[in-house]
Amino acid sequence: MRVYRYLLVGLTALTLVACGGGAGTTTAVSAPTTDAEEEPASDPGSVASVDDLPAECVETLRAYLRAIEPVVADVDFQSLTTEDLEALTEDLEEASVEYEEQIADCPEVDQSVDEGFAIIREIAAEEAPGTVAYFDFVAQFAEDFGNVDSASGDCEADIAAFQEFVDSSDSMSELTAAEVTEASSLMSSIAVVCSDERFLEWQEEISDWVSGG
């Protein structure tokens, strides 16, 4: 159930694109980080479908959906401004960090990102209908960014490619819109193909650069 990580990466990149990606712009809130001691001690493995997940893992997702529903239910995603998006990301951060921590020991579902979005949307429609538009919005954005073929699909290779952007600028806000698009494609791939431990380690490494801190 790693899909939320993909969503948050997408929202962070989307805010940067909306800001213009140039120097002097306000940078979006970075994806949340988790302390090293909170990382899972071992790989929890994977399962073939959501039906095979432990009940507590499914309930964690359902609880997360219920928690964010009041935040996203009344958002007009068709006219969302950069300021609105930054505020939304901040409002979601606490619940998102808690969710990441709670699913650390849950197995991955051995399905594609598109299938993962479909699963979450189906559960959302049943458990928290007010979140469906949010997931549709981010899934569409992720699909658009996914069309940029800059990622190799290999965890370490994509991290190395992303590092080139980090080394060439003081913060992500200094990248051009085209560079942000390419970097976001890499971020999306890293969020999907890397292990939980490696992703959290990388996330901490780039947090200051992404946030401009």
pLDDT tens-digit readout, 2-57: 545 555 555 555 544 444 343 333 323 333 333 444 444 567 788 877 778 888 98
Alpha-carbon gap, residue 24 to 15, rounded angstroms: 14
- Report if residue 89 sits inside a domain: yes
Q: What is the pLDDT of residue 28?
A: 30
**pLDDT exceeds cutoff 80 at 83:** no
Question: Considering the domain boundaries, does residue 28 fall inside one?
Answer: no
CA dihedral angle for residue 128, residue 129, residue 134, residue 140, rounded to 10 degrees: 120
Q: Has residue 30 been placed in a domain?
A: no
Q: Cα angle vertex 45, ends 38, 66, to 5°?
A: 60
More confident residue, 118 or 39: 118
Q: Which domain holds residue 108?
A: 3-22+43-211
Whether residue 127 lies inside any domain: the answer is yes
Residue 76 located in a structural domain: yes
Pair 180, 208: CB distance under 8 Å = no
Residue 131 lies inside a defined structural domain of this protein: yes
pLDDT at 177: 56
What's the predicted TM-score (pTM) here?
0.58
Rounded Cα gap, residues 18 and 82, in angstroms: 6
Instruction: Return the amino acid letter for 6.
Output: Y
Maximum Cα–Cα distance across the chain: 48
CA angle 97, 204, 25 (to 5 degrees): 90
Mean pLDDT, range 128-148, rounded to an integer: 77
Report the Cα–Cα distance between both ends of the chain, in Å, rounded.
29
Do residues 1 and 53 touch, judged by C-beta distance below 8 A?
A: yes
How many domains, the chain?
1
Six token digits for residue 203: 């996330």
Question: What's the pLDDT at 38?
Answer: 47
77 is a domain residue? yes
Closest CA to 143 of 5, 2, 20, 10: 10
Residue 94, both tokens: 């606490």
What angle in degrees, to the nearest 10, is found between the helix axes of 196-211 and 177-193?
Answer: 160
Range scoring the smallest mean pLDDT among 9-13, 31-35, 72-76, 190-194: 31-35
In a domain, 29, yes or no: no
| Per-residue pLDDT at 148 exceeds 60 | no
pLDDT surpasses 70 at 192: yes
What span, in angstroms and rounded, lies between the C-alpha atoms of 155 and 177? 24
Distance CA 71, CA 91 (A): 7
